[in-house]
């Protein structure tokens, strides 16, 4: 049934979205509304979605994404003019049909598309090191404590997004994986990071800070020992935990913000991650907009403190991040929501693919190591182009 359905939806050319669920995946389609977000309509959009306070049908929701720029603007951070591909700042869809899919997605493309395997990087190691050293000075003067430099890998080719997504999830089932296929663009992501899970008055966030490349000698227990012994990874993680506690404290009742899982290890295809889970109980009069403004853009992919670090980043980065470090997810009509952080993703637009990755600069990081960490993160996605 799944097999046929994926074939059918691919053949129909209808736009659709797939998002990881607890049991497998959910496929959203038959969109009755499509809202392209701008700085003008975003606040109204967010406020109106959950105005009814009722969720009668399982399709009573809007699903889509916020790009990085619009999330900056939402909290009053302005970006100067960057090199831009004119990709929308955010798009949300109202589905009329949801189909449950199992974890194993099977889809065989009807015709194979040849694509280029060559990726161009927008920052070579020398320019990366220059930016890196600039930011280290800013850390010494206290303007930032941790900052993430973004690098982009680009490639000109048409892709079959569904085929990519199915192959990606075969080797790597990430808890926040999703794909969007619309007429003029597609997004494929194996994001591991949940930014907001809100049910009733409970909210949690699950930041990742700390990455370790897999090897034959390692297992989960050894990876945990590595993270615990490694002072640099520990400090980086501590900072993110305190920052997320603070973001939650903006919207949660006094004394309710708690670290629910402190410093655990999660295993993925090529790497291990150092993860914590933090939660709280929402204050009574908090709106959906308040929640998004407190939590977005997700701190673990920006650095700390958020505002001053965003300003430093935006002054430095010459190319728009587009979807990268934005957020994908849904808001139900009753105000419940789930959003991830868009990382480990491919944006395919106008027959160009871009894969963005970032890793953190703290006082004792090493430019070469971080540059290579970026490559490891991008590799799992670049491997799909063959």
Residues that bind another protein (CB under 8 A): 139-146, 234-239, 241-243, 245-250, 252, 254-255, 257, 259, 299, 304-309, 362-363
Q: Of 114 and 229, which has the nearer Cβ to another protein?
A: 229
Q: Of 144 and 374, which has the nearer Cβ to another protein?
A: 144
> Closest distance between another protein and the C-beta of residue 358, in Å?
17
For residue 95, how far is the Cα from the chain centroid?
21
Q: Of 242 and 383, which has the nearer Cβ to another protein?
A: 242
What's the rounded Cα separation, in Å, for the pair 340 and 176? Answer: 6
> Closest distance between another protein and the C-beta of residue 14, in Å?
42
Q: Of 239 and 265, which has the nearer Cβ to another protein?
A: 239
301 three-state secondary structure? helix
Classify residue 300 by its DSSP letter.
G
User: 98: cis peptide before it, omega within 30°?
Assistant: no
Closest CA to 193 of 217, 218, 210: 210
> Closest distance between another protein and the C-beta of residue 42, in Å?
22
Q: Of 97 and 235, which has the nearer Cβ to another protein?
A: 235
What's the rounded Cα separation, in Å, for the pair 345 and 377? Answer: 10
Which stretch of DSSP H or E encloses residue 209?
strand 208-213
Q: Of 139 and 355, which has the nearer Cβ to another protein?
A: 139
| CA angle, residues 107, 110, 111, in degrees to nearest 5 | 125
> Closest distance between another protein and the C-beta of residue 172, in Å?
29
Q: Of 180 and 243, which has the nearer Cβ to another protein?
A: 243
> Closest distance between another protein and the C-beta of residue 139, in Å?
7
Bridge partners of residue 120, in order along the sequence: 154
Q: Which two tokens stand for residue 5?
A: 């359905």
Q: Which two tokens stand for residue 191?
A: 């994001």
> Closest distance between another protein and the C-beta of residue 65, in Å?
24
Classify residue 299 by its DSSP letter.
G
For residue 378, how far is the Cα from the chain centroid?
14
Q: Of 241 and 331, which has the nearer Cβ to another protein?
A: 241
Q: 120: Cβ–Cβ under 8 A, 6 or more apart, which residues?
A: 153, 154, 155
> Closest distance between another protein and the C-beta of residue 137, in Å?
10
- Measured from the Cβ of residue 183, the count of other Cβ atoms closer than 10 Å reads 8
Sequence-ordered alpha helix ranges (H) in the chain: 2-12, 42-49, 68-74, 125-140, 161-171, 220-229, 231-249, 288-295, 306-316, 367-382
Q: Of 298 and 335, which has the nearer Cβ to another protein?
A: 298
């Amino acid at each position: 049934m799944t097999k046929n359905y994926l074939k059918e939806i691919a053949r129909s050319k209808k736009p659709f979205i797939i998002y990881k669920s607890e049991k497998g995946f959910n496929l959203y389609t038959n969109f009755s509304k499509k809202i392209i977000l701008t700085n003008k309509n975003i606040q109204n959009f967010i406020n109106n979605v959950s105005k009814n306070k009722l969720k009668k049908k399982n399709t009573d929701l809007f699903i889509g994404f916020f790009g990085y720029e619009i999330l900056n603007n939402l909290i009053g951070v302005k970006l100067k003019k960057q090199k831009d591909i004119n990709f929308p700042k955010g798009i949300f869809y109202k589905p009329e049909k949801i189909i449950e899919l199992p974890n194993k997605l099977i889809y065989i493309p009807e015709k194979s598309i040849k694509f280029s395997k060559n990726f161009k990087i927008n920052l070579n190691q020398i320019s990366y090191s220059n930016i890196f050293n600039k930011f280290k000075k800013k850390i010494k003067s206290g303007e930032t404590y941790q900052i993430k430099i973004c690098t982009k890998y680009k490639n000109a080719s048409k892709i079959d997004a569904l085929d990519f997504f199915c192959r990606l999830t075969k080797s790597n089932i990430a808890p926040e994986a999703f794909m969007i296929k619309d007429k003029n663009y597609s997004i494929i992501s194996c994001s591991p990071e949940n930014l907001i899970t809100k049910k009733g008055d409970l909210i949690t966030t699950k930041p990742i800070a700390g990455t370790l490349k897999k090897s034959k000698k390692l297992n989960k227990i050894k990876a945990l020992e590595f993270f615990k012994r490694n002072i640099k990874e520990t400090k980086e993680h501590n900072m993110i935990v305190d920052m997320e506690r603070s973001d939650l404290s903006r919207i949660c009742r006094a004394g309710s913000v708690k670290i629910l899982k402190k410093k655990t290890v999660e295993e993925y295809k090529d790497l291990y991650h150092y993860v914590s889970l933090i939660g709280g109980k929402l204050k009574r009069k908090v709106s959906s907009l308040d929640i998004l403004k407190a939590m977005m853009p997700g701190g673990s992919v920006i650095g700390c403190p958020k505002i001053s670090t965003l300003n430093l980043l935006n002054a430095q980065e010459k190319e728009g991040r587009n979807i990268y470090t934005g957020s994908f997810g849904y808001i139900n009509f009753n105000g419940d929501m789930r959003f991830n952080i868009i990382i480990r993703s491919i944006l395919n637009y106008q027959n160009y693919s871009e894969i963005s990755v970032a890793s953190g600069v703290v006082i004792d990081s090493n430019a070469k190591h971080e540059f290579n960490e970026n490559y490891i993160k991008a590799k799992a996605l670049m491997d799909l182009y063959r």
